[in-house]
Amino acid sequence: MEMEKEKRRIGFVTGGVLMGLVLSSLDQTIVSTAMPTITKELGGLSLYSWVFAIYMLTATTSMPIYGKMADLFGPRKMYLMGLFLFLLGSLLCGMANSMTGLIAARGIQGLGAGALMPVAFIIVGELYPPEKRGKFQGLFGAVFAMTSILGPSLGGILVENLPWGWIFFINLPIGIVAFLIIALAFRDQRHYDKKPAIDWYGAISLSAAIILILLSLVMEGREYKIGLGGAGILFLGLFIKIETKAKEPLMPLSLFRIPAIGYGNLAGFFVSAALFGAIAYIPLFVQRVYGASPSEAGFLLVPLMLSAAISSTLGGRWMAKASFRAILIPSLLIMAAGFYLLSTIDVGTTNTQLVIYMIVTGLGMGAIYPALGTAAHSAVKPQERGVAMSTSQLFRSIGGTIGISVFGSIVEWRMRAGLVFSEALHDVFVTGLILIGISLIASVRLGNTRLLDKEPRHSHPANSGVPKQ
């Protein structure tokens, strides 16, 4: 009877975490199709890009802070704090009556979103023993991929039939239910009995470094890019110096000596740079070369995401049987094959060929992130999992942002040299192949690390039914 009750509790909490994950992934894409309507009503077209940029800045900057705070105070408090800020930001976004107000509200929303992904995986680690974590990491990856597909379509449907504010208000009922479930059903473990010391100097210097580096990527003008990028690197150096002396460092540098963390983060950084930087140009190619509408171009990404969802689920199940390297290497090779095929597209490429190329790429990419995340989670002690997971997310996020910026520069440079768009796109995917190759080398260096149950069985609430206090 007690075991059945515990299983129901775990099921409710898993559902609540999945709801938060749906909101996090949906809001990365739902806004894109609604922005023309929003700018038409609010004006401020010159601020258009900042609606996306501010969300990215605040979400990425807050990730490592939430991760460390989850280690110090428990993931429950941090997840609820992040979800509250996300819902508050959603409410304010929907009520905004100016572009400046919308940007400020998106900043608050991003501050909350920074907790939803990394802390969700920490909660999974407390709910399930090691042999089951891979399965749920794969499930979460599949859900993320599927909701990313739905985002643009759902945004278009909502703005066509309701006031544009509903693309944000739709978060409220789902988020409130998720908040209540986590608040009432989940009790996390406290890993620290002492009063925790917070590394404020580390948090400030790392936040400054991330903000300045990301701003250097999104701002126009060579002077801005050099100045902001240089300042960001200086703050990064200051952060590293602070961390070597901090009593309770925000991001212990010793973690990077662990292959699953050091090489895993390198693999995540480069594969994200390749994936997000290159795939962003597929819809543009279809519109410019085939003359497709924006909605038709968006639907072309569906085969990519569906195949990624399938391989993400399968990869999660394989983690209980194979090493992380044994999953990552074939996945990256398949993804590389997809990128090679995409590097050949031109005006003569048919829709059927393009869909096949996207499916191959998706089958390769689906298992990569669940494997990297589970490897990081499994490589550290329970009191370091927040830092490990948030660092993994941070490297992927920054990698993706840098990839978009670099590939944008490649396209612009090659077209100035007289190439047509499809020829410039060839260079984008070839560069992506090189980045996947670097990720492949880093994955080889992971060794034979695998998902093994080396922890005491009583350390998992799912097994004992009694959270450790």
- Considering the domain architecture, whether residues 228 and 263 belong to the same structural domain is answered as no
For residue 469, being part of any structural domain is answered with no
Neighbouring CB atoms inside 10 A of 456's CB total 10
- Considering the domain architecture, whether residues 94 and 215 belong to the same structural domain is answered as no
- Considering the domain architecture, whether residues 298 and 223 belong to the same structural domain is answered as no
- Considering the domain architecture, whether residues 20 and 121 belong to the same structural domain is answered as yes
- Considering the domain architecture, whether residues 107 and 168 belong to the same structural domain is answered as yes
For residue 400, being part of any structural domain is answered with yes
Condensed to tens digits (0 to 9), the pLDDT of residues 143-186 reads 777 776 677 777 777 877 888 888 899 899 999 999 999 998 88
Q: CA–CA distance from 77 to each of 31, 171, 194, 212, 238 (Å)?
A: 28, 20, 17, 29, 29
- Considering the domain architecture, whether residues 233 and 257 belong to the same structural domain is answered as no
- Residue 103 CA to residue 107 CA, distance in Å, equals 6
Secondary structure (3-state) at 412? helix
Condensed to tens digits (0 to 9), the pLDDT of residues 247-306 reads 888 888 888 899 889 999 999 999 988 887 777 777 777 777 777 665 666 677 778 888
- 306 closest CA partner among 153, 143, 433: 143
Q: Which residue bears the tokens 């922005």?
A: 35
Query: What residues are paired with 323 via a beta bridge?
Result: 450
Six-digit token pair at 45? 């077209």
- CATH code at position 92: 1.20.1250.20
- Considering the domain architecture, whether residues 156 and 243 belong to the same structural domain is answered as no
Q: CA–CA distance from 16 to each of 79, 113, 184, 352, 410 (Å)?
A: 11, 15, 11, 39, 42
Q: For residue 368, is pLDDT > 70? A: yes
- Considering the domain architecture, whether residues 240 and 137 belong to the same structural domain is answered as no
Six-digit token pair at 112? 């909350």
pTM: 0.80
Six-digit token pair at 125? 């680690």
Cα of 308 vs its chain's centroid, Å? 15
Residue-range definition of the domain harbouring residue 391:
252-452
- What's the pLDDT score for residue 234? 94
Out of 46-60, 330-344, 349-363, the most confident range is 330-344
- Domain-ending residue, one of 158, 187, 216: 187
- Considering the domain architecture, whether residues 20 and 55 belong to the same structural domain is answered as yes
- The Cα diameter of the chain in Å comes to 72
CB-based burial label for 293 (10 Å; 0-12, 13-18, 19+) = exposed
- Considering the domain architecture, whether residues 158 and 212 belong to the same structural domain is answered as no
- Domain-ending residue, one of 164, 187, 210: 187
Condensed to tens digits (0 to 9), the pLDDT of residues 190-202 reads 655 566 777 888 8
For residue 461, being part of any structural domain is answered with no
* Total tally of structural domains belonging to the chain: 3
